[in-house]
A and B are shown apart, each in its own frame.
Chain A
């Protein structure tokens, strides 16, 4: 990746973050500014189309995807940074499966998930990251399995002085149980999967739960509060912002 000082960045704000967790987006902008990046925030950002796509309504997904491509084909940014593994995966992996009027190839190349961007651009090195304590890092499924991003966020965590972090193994409760429409169609399963995930975290007695995807966080937060578990949830961008203060 080119030198961070010469890169132009545009942001894509996922619908969940826009609607429910605007602070995550502000944290991300904060972090980037601390690294000397002035990110562009375009108006009229659509949803990436994943909810409709996953449910099988590909016409709806294509309509939104077309809006996405039309909007971002008008940017001269080198990268489109998105604080979500599932949105990034949707654009990069699935847009090519949709009937679109224009090609999504160039845009797909520019899309990059936030932690992956921060690591590969070396931007994180400009921050003096510190944290006292131990956290749980959750490997969001789309980030891990669709984009195969695992090293980037972990390398950044490793650079935070004073931080100890834990993760789950493949045989130890991995998915959070959100799954988009799954959480509505199969609520009992969704809650049980989330509950077991939090039990595992609770046993380790950690001060925070950190993930790169807002869907996971929202789902686990809603389960945690219903069970009075008092776990603190942070998006990766919020956590990095916190550690850089």
Chain B
């Protein structure tokens, strides 16, 4: 299995070179993330007392849920069924997609309107539906844009943040015959009108769920545009697709999450629409499709379970200096940035994520912003530790080089004699690096990759200090 994973190595470094060379993309990413971070700082400062209290409560609630995830899920399902909701649970993505397809076909529908759901991206639901003759129409503006472009979303809450308005106008013009314009209001009005027809004629609407309440079998759906409400209320059949990690214990936990999610995600006091619902209204039908893939595994992993605290606000992505350059695409996984690095090893295998795990400076800004106080650098280091412990059969050259470096630190600093060899070691490394320059890089020295050698002084500090 390890050698397969190596073949599937996600080439993040190569992707970084591609992304960095796209200057327009880099500018768009920087502007988008900086704008959101500034708004976020302002709103949290203004409401800090409420925010901090809500955070503490939300963390307790989520930790509580994770502790007994399987049992809580059973309880949730029971309560949901009691309210007349049809519930199906799957560990396998395709089986979940198959059920959704079956439901849609049973209503004689050949298309469905869909609001934002990261889980459905994980599942590649749209791809499955299309292969089985059903046309899924993304209705969140950002998702609608990337769907037309045939791309994956670039960010958790701003799927099209890598696109300029000219690029959006061009795709609307090319695929939907919108007259060319550079007025964002006009483009939005066009999309509204186009999608309104779809909402009104759809027989089935698919949404995600931001939170699922164990105690009542309810879900909470959070949004700004109104498309989730459209998918929830207009079609006769509503399907909510979400992962088991969305569970929270009590109905009264909801406001704590509401107080922190939009503030952290978009710098808003509160998102425009929050729909808390359970039993479908008269004449309507509701399904919950719950996916458990890897969720129980993570929940039972003592060092990793806090990852499930994540409420998908995207603040970690906004502040990450690496994500600001790669966007989600650079990680080749549903999620990018810090949350992506934490999750990917479970989904792609840890060896395939070797470069992804290297793509972090461990600066810790993600941890300082995370509303759920997830210690992201600690989790990344734990993943790196597990990678380092993989058997010899799955060794990569990079890992060998790293081990040599780590071991030589250990060796040289362990004994007085070896310590005295350090200055000679450095000079040797410098001469060697000069000779081979560019072919093998020795960490910190790299004249031909945009950095100059920092020449080590003749004597180290200890040599100088203790010579007297």
Interface residues of A (CB under 8 A from B): 13, 15, 17-20, 22-23, 25-26, 41, 43-47, 49, 51-58, 60-61, 63-64, 67, 141-142, 144-146, 169-175, 177-193, 195, 218-219, 221-223, 225-227
Q: Nearest Cβ distance between residue B140 and chain A, in whole angstroms? A: 25
Cross-chain pairs A/B with CB under 8 angstroms, 19 sampled: A20-B456, A22-B459, A22-B460, A25-B465, A43-B416, A58-B385, A145-B368, A169-B38, A170-B365, A171-B33, A171-B319, A175-B363, A179-B361, A179-B362, A182-B362, A183-B444, A184-B441, A188-B449, A191-B449
Say yes or no: is B384 at the interface (Cβ < 8 Å to chain A): yes
B358: chain A residues at CB < 8 Å are 181-182, 185-186
How far apart are the CA atoms of A58 and B303 in the complex, in Å?
A: 15
Number of B residues near A (Cβ < 8 Å) is 71
Q: Complex: how many Å from CA A175 to CA B366? A: 12
Give the docked Cα–Cα distance between A180 and B326 (Å): 19
The interface centre, meaning the residue of A173, A180, A185, A227 with most chain B CB atoms within 10 A of its CB, is: A185
B402 lies within 8 A of A145 (CB): no
B409: chain A residues at CB < 8 Å are 15, 47, 49, 51-52, 60, 64
Which A residues are in CB contact (< 8 Å) with B34?
171-172
**How many pairs of A and B residues are in contact by the CB < 8 Å rule?**
202
Interface string of B439-457 (1 = CB under 8 A from A): 0010110110111111011
B410 and chain A: residue at smallest CB distance:
A60
Chain B residue with Cβ nearest A97: B378
Determine chain A's interface SS by DSSP, over half rule: helix
Chain B contact residues: over half helix, strand or loop, or mixed? helix
- Specify which chain A residues have a CB less than 8 angstroms from the CB of B364 in the assembled complex: 141-142, 144-146
Are A60 and B457 in contact (CB-based, < 8 A)?
Answer: no
Given A171-B41, A177-B361, verify A60-B322 contact (CB < 8 Å).
no
Within 8 A of A (CB), among B399-413: 402-403, 405-407, 409-410, 413
Query: In the docked arrangement, what's the CA distance between A58 and B453, Å?
Result: 29
Q: Which residues of B are in contact with A by a Cβ distance under 8 Å?
A: 12-13, 16-17, 20, 33-35, 37-38, 41, 319, 321-322, 325-326, 355, 358-365, 367-368, 377, 381, 383-389, 398, 402-403, 405-407, 409-410, 413-414, 416, 419, 422-423, 426, 441, 443-444, 446-447, 449-454, 456-457, 459-462, 464-466
CB pair A44 B416 closer than 8 Å: yes
The CA of A221 and the CA of B441, in the complex, are separated in Å by 18
* Bound Cα distance from A11 to B388, whole angstroms: 32
Q: In the complex the two chains form, is B406's CB within 8 Å of A52's CB?
A: yes
Which residues on the B side are within 8 Å of A192 (C-beta)?
Answer: 20, 325
- Residue with the highest number of chain B CB atoms closer than 10 Å, among A174, A189, A222: A189
**Residue from A18, A53, A169 with most neighbouring chain B CB atoms (10 Å):** A18
Asked whether A185 and B355 contact (CB < 8 A) given A52-B410, A60-B407, the answer is yes
Residues of B within 8 A of A225 (CB): 452
